[in-house]
């Protein structure tokens, strides 16, 4: 037997106590440290940031990155710790951008470990889901198992027996007149349909299609129309456009503000809704949103006249009638009539909507009456929202720059870039490397703000060819996907921690545990207007709770999902669809020649095979011209490098460089 004296026992107790305290301290400190990262993953050859955060100040942390075989591929120490006031946390950046091999990885720091991926198709599934969300939110139809899987449901809200509310009554349509107003998307977590919010939502999806046409022509999202005559995105948009058209009174061109019941419904499925539905009051904001969207849609759908005879014409006619009504009724601001308690979407300043509608109408029609209504000195910058549409006018002007004078485009460009520059600076220099930074960013629907800011950075890249804007857009998207003040990926069905209890009646009532995937929740909202308990904290970037109760932070809406879908798909496009590698060029192949090259704007293609089509891209992948002719004139394009993609009758594709000077 070993005899241990009192001194030895006390010494051992002391040592054990010391070890125990060290272990407790280590565990507590590890728990105090959190790792925030893009839970979808990171793209090859793009910046890759992982943020280490804590409520307490800490020293830069040693970190290690291992591959799937547990080989160390990178080790280092995180950067200087900074205080991030938005979430009342301290933050240190670990830059792992040097890793560019596709695969699964582990990031380890201070005893913690997270898994992440690197690849080229990181956003493929989530970008599809962000668009498929609109199909799940369709009114006036059932969702079949073929297209909806476990989210199949019965039809609700046929909206073929809608009453004209007294506030919307006219001599042509007295109170309680029955009209038919089917289709459209449920606006948010409720079952109502609002023209104003449909405005920016539909515009953003139309802009996505217009800006990346070839990408969306090839993209399918498994909806009933898939495989038909139109690209899937245009089929989905048309479901809402068809409803919007029914919201215009034919006699005078005015547009009803919304179609709702008198009150919000309970937590029920669409087919269990039996309250009377009404069109409520016309408004100037509704007419102008309607006019802008219909004008834009008219030029997009004009390419499908064979498939939809007369549709484009009907859209522009409706747009012009609505604009004329708004000009005659410039101050009809919407407030809920007595007895109506659904969403208001009130706006008492519609100067921005007038500018936006005039821009879209002028681009589509070329009518100088509309250009005369555009006043660039009154168009503001900033982030777009349903109640602030000036930036939408700038985006359309800068995309359709040939329709405007060079001086007007320069002015619009300067206005637009002042916002983009501030956002890029915020990404580069803020503690968390995100666009969000001001109190105005953390509002009801703050994730919609963040999504639209990504769009502004992408468009800045488009109009300047400055890749630093695009780099910032990729980094900024991290915020929505997990590298933020809560550690949530804010898109349902994706990431390691994502919303499971969104304020969305269908997901709440369908009996399926998991919510419909691809929905962007509203995000941190220090206003916390719902009065719910359980908020992560009260900071600007932390005021979020994953609860049905929290309509102020966890609701979903069509106007937040639209910029998410735009951003995810655009970044996916630039990673995979806009670049042409050296392997695309067969310099020894003389089957196709281009002359003269360099060109001043007019050139010929000579091929031993019959040419079926020619697409001309600029250096950032934007289509600038399409034709079936072998003699091409491009007199108005700027000097620089272009690419020709030529398809021949035997299904061969050639890519050639073209220099314009």
Active-site residues: which are they?
190, 503, 546, 555
| First-to-last C-alpha distance (Å) of the chain | 97
Helix axes 311-328, 351-365, angle to 10 degrees: 140
H helices of 193-310, where?
195-211, 213-217, 232-246, 284-301
What is the H or E stretch that residue 463 is in?
A: helix 446-464
Euclidean distance between CA atoms 628 and 161, whole angstroms: 48
Beta-strand relationship, 278-282 and 162-164: parallel
Classified as helix, coil or strand, 369 is: helix
Handedness of CA 443, 447, 452, 458 (dihedral sign): positive
Secondary-structure breakdown of the chain: helix, strand, coil percentages, each rounded to the nearest 5: 40, 20, 45
Whether the Cβ atoms of residue 563 and residue 452 lie closer than 8 Å to each other? yes
A 10 A CB-CB count for 263 gives: 11
CB 386 within 8 A of CB 196: yes
| Of 447, 400, 394, nearest in space to 418 by CA | 394
Task: Identify the DSSP state of 584.
Answer: G
Return the ∠ at Cα 102 (arms to 98 and 107), rounded to 5°.
Answer: 60
Q: Tokens standing for 40?
A: 């979808």
Alpha helix stretches (DSSP H) within 44-161? 124-136, 145-148
Contact of 167 with 175, CB cutoff 8 Å: no
Question: What is the rounded distance in angstroms from the CA atom of residue 290 to the CA atom of residue 356?
Answer: 11
Q: What span, in angstroms and rounded, lies between the C-alpha atoms of 515 and 500?
A: 6
* Strand pairing report for 72-77 and 62-66: antiparallel
Facing residues of 633 across strands? 602
Helix residue ranges, H only, 51-122: none
């Amino acid at each position: 037997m070993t005899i241990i004296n009192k001194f030895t026992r006390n010494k051992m107790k002391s040592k054990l106590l010391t070890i125990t305290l060290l272990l407790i301290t280590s565990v507590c400190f590890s728990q105090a440290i959190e790792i925030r990262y893009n839970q979808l993953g990171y793209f090859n050859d793009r910046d890759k940031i992982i943020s280490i955060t804590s409520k307490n100040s800490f020293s830069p942390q040693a970190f290690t990155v291992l591959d799937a075989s547990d080989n160390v591929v990178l080790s280092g120490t995180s950067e200087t710790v900074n205080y991030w006031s938005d979430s009342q946390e301290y933050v240190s950046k670990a830059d792992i951008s040097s890793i560019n091999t596709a695969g699964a990885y582990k990031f380890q720091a201070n005893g913690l470990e997270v898994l992440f991926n690197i690849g080229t198709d990181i956003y493929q599934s989530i970008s599809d889901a962000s668009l498929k969300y609109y199909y799940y939110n369709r009114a006036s139809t059932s969702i079949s198992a073929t297209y909806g899987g476990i989210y199949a449901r019965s039809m609700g809200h046929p909206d073929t027996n809608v009453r004209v509310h007294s506030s919307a009554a006219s001599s042509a349509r007295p109170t309680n007149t029955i009209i038919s107003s089917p289709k459209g998307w449920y606006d948010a977590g409720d079952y109502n349909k609002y023209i104003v919010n449909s405005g920016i939502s539909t515009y953003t999806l139309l802009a996505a299609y217009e800006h990346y046409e070839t990408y969306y022509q090839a993209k399918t999202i498994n909806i009933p129309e898939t495989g038909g005559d139109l690209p899937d995105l245009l089929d989905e948009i048309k479901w809402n456009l068809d409803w919007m058209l029914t919201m215009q009174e034919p006699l005078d061109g005015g547009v009803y503000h919304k179609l709702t019941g008198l009150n919000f419904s309970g937590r029920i499925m669409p087919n269990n809704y039996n309250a009377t539905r009404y069109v409520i009051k016309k408004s100037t904001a509704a007419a102008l949103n309607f006019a802008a969207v219909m004008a834009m849609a008219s030029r997009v759908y004009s390419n499908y006249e064979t498939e939809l005879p007369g549709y484009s014409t009907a859209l522009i006619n409706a747009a012009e009638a609505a604009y004329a009504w708004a000009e005659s009724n410039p101050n009809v601001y919407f407030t809920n009539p007595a007895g109506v308690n659904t969403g208001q979407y009130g706006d008492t300043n519609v100067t921005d909507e007038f500018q936006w509608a005039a821009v879209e109408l002028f681009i589509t029609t070329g009518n100088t009456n509309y250009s005369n209504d555009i006043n660039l000195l009154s168009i503001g910058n900033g982030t777009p929202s349903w109640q602030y549409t000036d930036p939408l006018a700038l985006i359309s002007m800068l995309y359709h720059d040939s329709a405007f004078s060079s001086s007007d485009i320069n002015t619009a460009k300067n206005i637009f870039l002042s916002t983009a520059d501030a956002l890029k600076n915020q990404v580069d220099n803020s503690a968390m490397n995100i666009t969000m930074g001001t109190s105005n960013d953390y509002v009801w629907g703050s994730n919609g703000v963040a999504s639209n800011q990504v769009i502004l950075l992408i468009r800045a890249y488009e109009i300047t060819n400055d890749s630093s804007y695009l780099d910032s857009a990729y980094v900024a998207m991290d915020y929505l996907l997990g590298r933020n003040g809560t550690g949530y990926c804010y898109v349902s069905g994706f990431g390691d921690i994502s919303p499971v209890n969104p304020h969305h009646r269908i997901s709440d009532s369908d009996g399926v545990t998991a919510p419909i995937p691809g929905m962007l929740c509203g995000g941190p909202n220090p206003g916390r207007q719902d009065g719910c308990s359980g908020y992560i904290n009260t900071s600007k970037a932390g005021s979020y709770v994953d609860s049905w109760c929290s309509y102020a932070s966890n609701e979903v809406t069509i106007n937040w999902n639209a910029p998410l879908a735009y951003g995810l798909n655009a970044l996916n496009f630039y990673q995979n669809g806009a670049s042409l590698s050296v392997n695309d060029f067969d310099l020894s192949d003389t089957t196709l020649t281009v002359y003269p090259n360099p060109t001043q704007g007019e050139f010929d293609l000579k091929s031993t095979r019959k040419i079926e089509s020619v697409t001309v891209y600029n250096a950032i992948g934007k289509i600038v011209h399409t034709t079936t002719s072998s003699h091409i004139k491009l007199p108005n394009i700027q000097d620089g490098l272009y690419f020709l993609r030529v398809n021949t009758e035997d299904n061969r594709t050639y890519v050639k460089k073209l220099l314009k000077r």
